[in-house]
């Protein structure tokens, strides 16, 4: 390496050299600062070379290294500190903006909520216009659904279902009961089933109320709504003293599958968004994300049992029928989906 300072300065690898001098009792002392953009090894080599200087002009001299300081590191620390300060300020401003947006959204929703019918029930503005009706428990539920743009919602305000709501359900093409995931939700659902026309039931996750659900949770719950007929059939089976496991065993026995216990355990424990397939001997063929199922399902021609922790679509069912599947267990199915009698289906 060529350590000629002039050449290094010309190339920009050494900056402007600063020298501070002071004289005391005939002796001159000072500090030399040499800014370097060389590598760490090259800088250390340059410092060691400077220490070998023994004369400056006509005078003897001695140079000792005081410090090699990485100014980039100190700058980096300052930048990180300043960035943290800016981020904190930004977060505080964002929080204020979020609160403003939330208030605006709340004010808009309050402006949209109406009083419907002789009982002046809390409702969205489209209750009379829409062919579909969503029935919830209280005013806060209506507001929460307005937040995601659903304006065809009405609240029954308790377990005593108003006659006006029961009459309204008979004028609608589709009626969804969207109830809390607790005992109160079950009571209201039972009351609605006795006096109103219901087509589907959606429930908040266990232990949650509709009013406290996030946007994502509400959309998911409504997507997973179940036809009332399937619930009524299950309810009749349970009233006969049969548990859900009994119902499942009965459905599996119809198609005479082996290794039923492993299939039942898979249904009990399958993770959200997964699909598991078995052959007729009860051997596991695959475990896939539901999103990849349609593309890869035909790779398994001996598939007889499919368990989907998701929604059975018409597109997927068409392929499964062609493959000759015997048993499907799923969370729910698309609306108006017809499953032939040759396939045993179980909703969990």
- If you search the block for the tokens 């089976």, which residue do you land on? 237
| DSSP secondary structure string for all residues of 125-141 | TTTTT-SEEEEESSHHH
* Ordered alpha helix ranges (H), 113-214: 139-146, 163-169, 183-195
User: pLDDT value at position 241?
Assistant: 46
Give the residue, 292 or 257, on which the prediction is more confident.
292
At 63, list the tokens: 């140079």
| pLDDT (average), residues 59-87 | 79
Least confident of 58-72, 124-138, 154-168, 222-236: 222-236
Q: Is residue 25 predicted with pLDDT exceeding 80?
A: no
Q: Regarding beta strands 18-24 and 284-289, do their DSSP bridges make them parallel or antiparallel, or are they unpaired?
A: unpaired
Q: Which residue ranges make up each domain of the chain?
A: 5-60, 113-232, 256-347
The Cα angle at residue 102 between residues 97 and 103, in degrees rounded to 5: 100
Query: CA-CA distance, 145 to 136, in Å (whole number)?
Result: 10
**Mean pLDDT score of the chain, rounded to an integer?**
82
Query: CA-CA distance, 209 to 136, in Å (whole number)?
Result: 10
Give the three-state DSSP class for 344.
strand
Helix 244-254 and helix 260-269: axis angle, to 10°?
130
Half-sphere exposure of 301 (CA within 13 A, CB side): 0
Query: CA-CA distance, 60 to 211, in Å (whole number)?
Result: 87
0.85 exceeded by pTM: no
CB atoms within 10 A of CB 42: 15
**In the beta sheet, which residues pair with residue 306?**
277, 328
| pLDDT (average), residues 311-336 | 86
Give the residue, 240 or 267, on which the prediction is more confident.
267
Q: Is residue 286 predicted with pLDDT exceeding 90?
A: yes
At 103, list the tokens: 């208030």
> Left (φ > 0), alpha (ψ -120 to 50) or beta: where does 328 sit?
beta
Q: Regarding beta strands 284-289 and 274-279, do their DSSP bridges make them parallel or antiparallel, or are they unpaired?
A: antiparallel
Q: Note the CATH number of domain 113-232.
A: 3.40.1360.10
Give the residue, 84 or 177, on which the prediction is more confident.
177
**Interacting residues of 242 by C-beta distance below 8 A, sequence separation 6+:** 250
Tens of pLDDT, residue by residue over 294-304, are 999 999 989 99
Tens of pLDDT, residue by residue over 250-284, are 777 777 777 778 888 888 888 888 999 999 888 89
Query: 253, 230, 252, 250: which is closest to 242 by C-alpha?
Result: 250
User: pLDDT value at position 96?
Assistant: 53
| % of the chain residues with pLDDT over 70 | 87
Q: Which CATH superfamily is domain 256-347 in?
A: AICAR transformylase, duplication domain (3.40.140.20)
| pLDDT (average), residues 236-250 | 59
**In the beta sheet, which residues pair with residue 56?**
59
Diameter over CA atoms, the chain: 114
At 335, list the tokens: 């609306």
Give the residue, 127 or 24, on which the prediction is more confident.
127
User: pLDDT value at position 101?
Assistant: 56
């Amino acid at each position: 390496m060529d350590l000629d300072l002039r050449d290094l300065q010309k190339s920009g690898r050494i900056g402007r050299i600063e020298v501070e001098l002071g004289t005391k009792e005939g002796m001159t002392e000072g500090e030399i600062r040499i800014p370097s953009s060389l590598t760490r090894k090259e800088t250390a080599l340059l410092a060691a070379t400077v220490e070998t200087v023994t004369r400056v002009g006509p005078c003897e001299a001695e140079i000792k290294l005081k410090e090699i300081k990485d100014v980039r590191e100190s700058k980096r620390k300052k930048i990180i500190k300043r960035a943290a300060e800016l981020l904190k300020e930004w977060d505080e401003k964002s929080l204020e903006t979020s609160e403003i947006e939330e208030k605006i959204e709340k004010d808009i929703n309050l402006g949209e909520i109406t009083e419907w019918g002789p009982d002046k029930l809390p409702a969205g503005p489209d209750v009379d216009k829409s062919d579909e009706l969503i029935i919830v428990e209280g005013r806060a539920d209506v507001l929460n659904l307005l937040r995601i743009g659903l304006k065809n919602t009405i609240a029954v305000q308790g377990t005593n279902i108003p006659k006006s709501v029961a009459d309204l359900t008979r004028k609608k093409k589709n009626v969804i009961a969207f109830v809390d995931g607790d005992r109160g939700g079950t009571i209201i659902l039972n009351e609605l089933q006795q006096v109103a026309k219901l087509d589907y039931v959606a429930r908040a996750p266990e232990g949650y109320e509709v009013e406290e659900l996030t946007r994502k949770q509400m959309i998911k719950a409504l997507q997973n709504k179940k036809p009332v007929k399937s619930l009524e059939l299950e309810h009749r089976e349970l009233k006969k003293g049969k548990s859900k496991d009994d119902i499942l065993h009965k459905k599996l026995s119809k198609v005479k599958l082996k290794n039923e216990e492993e299939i039942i355990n898979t249904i009990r424990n399958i993770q959200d968004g997964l699909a598991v397939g078995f052959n007729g001997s009860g051997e596991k063929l695959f475990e896939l994300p539901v999103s990849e199922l349609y593309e890869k399902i035909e790779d398994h021609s001996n598939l007889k049992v499919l368990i989907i922790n998701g929604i059975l679509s018409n597109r997927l069912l068409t392929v499964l029928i062609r493959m000759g599947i015997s048993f499907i267990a799923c969370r729910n199915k698309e609306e108006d989906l017809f499953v032939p009698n040759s396939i045993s289906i179980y909703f969990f």
